[in-house]
């Protein structure tokens, strides 16, 4: 049962996908997901400052990034007396997200993918994010499930993803058309991370219900590879890989396909398959 909702003075701007979280129990739940004592925290999308205030109670420092300058006065009012908070009026797509112990934020629905991959590229140990529920389910999807996707694979190559809780739509102002969810991302130990080729993974999941061999043959244009060369590569794959559907491939199998494809796929300048590379940062729809 949701407690009494928080009143908001600000007028939400649809062009910024502003939906303010107004159920007080959820900012508390989000802030208490991690032990924050002595940690430097980055918050993306401070909004009216309700989550910011909760973070400030526990963290050493909080850097609160908000793109809308019209929210500054309400932010300052909400955070009056919080000496460990710095407010930055900036676009999180351009702001330097690196160098923090953990990242929090309610990501705008229309920017969830590019912001998520910017967060992952920092190598931050932990991130606790509020996302559209469907997006969150895909992010946390497992191989073989309906939610397993390019998004799941590319994110989980480096991070464990846990869906912590669902936030009903009525807990936001204005009320969106869909529910949201809290997701906790924890960076894996180096020994558990895998390298994936983003172009290959994208091509495979474009045809995720076909087997890998057919998916590759139908991806010549997307991969910019000669069909004959692609066919030879597909024929050379172990049958246990070529006969599986992409939606059933595990991370280790996707990593093996990426490794086998190194000599076939022509990389763009600056592209690499290592963690946090431009290749990993391709936005996922």
Distance CA 133, CA 124 (A): 23
> Quick one: CATH architecture of 14-192?
3-Layer(aba) Sandwich (3.40)
pLDDT band at 62 (very low <50, low <70, confident <90, very high): very high
Distance CA 217, CA 22 (A): 50
pLDDT band at 267 (very low <50, low <70, confident <90, very high): very low
Residue-wise burial string across 90-107, b where 16 or more C-beta atoms lie within 10 A, e elsewhere = eebeebebeebbbbbbbb
Mean pLDDT of the chain: 89
The pTM is what? 0.87
Bridge partners, 171 (sequence order): none
Q: Could you tell me where in the chain the CATH 1.10.8.100 domains are found?
A: 194-285
Query: Percentage of the chain with pLDDT > 70?
Result: 88
Distance CA 30, CA 183 (A): 9
CATH 1.10.8.100, domain 194-285, yes or no: yes
276: pLDDT strictly greater than 90: no
């Amino acid at each position: 049962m949701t407690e009494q909702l928080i009143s908001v003075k600000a007028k939400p701007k649809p062009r910024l996908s502003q939906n303010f979280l107004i159920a007080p129990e959820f900012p508390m739940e989000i802030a208490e997901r991690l032990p924050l004592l002595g940690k430097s925290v980055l918050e993306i999308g401070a909004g009216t400052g309700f989550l910011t205030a909760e973070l400030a109670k526990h963290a050493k420092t909080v850097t609160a990034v908000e793109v809308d300058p019209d929210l500054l006065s309400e932010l300052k009012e909400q955070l009056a007396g919080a000496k460990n908070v710095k407010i930055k009026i900036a676009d999180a797509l351009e702001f330097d997200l690196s160098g923090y112990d953990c990242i929090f934020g309610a990501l705008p629905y229309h920017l969830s993918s590019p912001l998520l991959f910017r967060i992952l590229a920092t190598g931050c140990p932990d991130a606790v994010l509020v996302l559209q529920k469907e997006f969150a389910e895909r992010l946390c999807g497992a191989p073989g499930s309906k939610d397993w996707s390019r998004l799941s694979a590319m994110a989980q190559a480096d991070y464990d993803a846990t869906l912590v809780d669902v936030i009903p739509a009525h807990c936001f102002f204005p009320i969106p058309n869909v529910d949201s969810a809290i997701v906790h991302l924890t960076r894996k130990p180096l020994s558990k991370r895998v390298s994936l080729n983003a172009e290959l993974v994208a091509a495979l999941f474009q045809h995720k219900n076909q087997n890998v061999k057919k998916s590759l043959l139908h991806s010549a244009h997307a991969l910019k590879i000669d069909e004959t060369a692609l066919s030879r590569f597909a024929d050379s794959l172990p049958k246990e890989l070529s006969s599986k559907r992409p939606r059933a491939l595990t991370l280790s199998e996707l990593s093996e396909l990426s490794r086998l494809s190194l000599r076939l796929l022509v990389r763009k300048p600056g592209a690499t398959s290592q963690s946090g590379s431009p290749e990993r940062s391709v936005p996922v729809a």
